Amino acid sequence: MKILLIGATGTLGTALHKALSARGHDVLTVGRTGGDLRYDITDPAQTSEMYERAGGVDAVVSAAGDVPFKPLAELTSEDHLAAFRGKVLSQIDVVRQGLTRVADGGSFTLISGVLAREPIVTGAAASMANGAVEAFVRAAAIEIAPRRINAVSPTVFTESLTEYGEYFPGMASVDLARVAQAYIRSVEGGQTGQIYAL
């Protein structure tokens, strides 16, 4: 399949690039600062240009989402809005604008995260954003057939424990290889409206 991979240069995106290429897919990478195409999906105009450049695709895979982490009392309205724009509206725009670009039977796979269901201190804006993404995916699925949409909702990556482990005390980590497996299931399988919680 021809797959558009957004957020391709991050920790997850790099792992997805390898895993999807190893499955024989033709992966077109998108990043703000690196990749085959350079676009920032928080700007709808850039998302539109991205699709123009990419041409038709069979699947869109997103590993792109930025949210601020702060104690709840320090999170401002602007922080919550930044979380919404950085992870929710950006991915919704990818779906919205992609409806006419993705092939029949093709799929969107968005990134969410464990904080949708299991909170951590300083993670309220991230929880909010992930909850929004997952509910959107369940809702979009019933309106976009024959196209499909799922989300992958991982806990902290095992490979990121050194950097972020302290924020997830006593919580299990997940290997990037397992996360990539869930994306493959979404792309190559037939399910829609699913949240793959890992």
Positions that interact with its own copies (CB under 8 A): 44, 71-73, 75-77, 80-81, 84, 88-89, 92-93, 96, 99, 115-117, 119-121, 123-124, 126-136, 138-144, 193
Q: Which C-beta is closer to its own copies: that of 29 or that of 91?
A: 91
Distant-in-sequence, close-in-space partners of 183: CB < 8 Å, separation ≥ 6? 16, 19, 20, 61, 109, 152
Alpha carbons within 13 angstroms on the beta-carbon side of residue 96 total: 12
Distance CA 198, CA 182 (A): 8
Shortest spacing between CB 138 and its own copies, in angstroms? 5
Distance CA 164, CA 161 (A): 5
Q: Which C-beta is closer to its own copies: that of 103 or that of 135?
A: 135
Shortest spacing between CB 93 and its own copies, in angstroms? 6
Q: Which C-beta is closer to its own copies: that of 50 or that of 184?
A: 50
Shortest spacing between CB 48 and its own copies, in angstroms? 11
DSSP state of 58: E
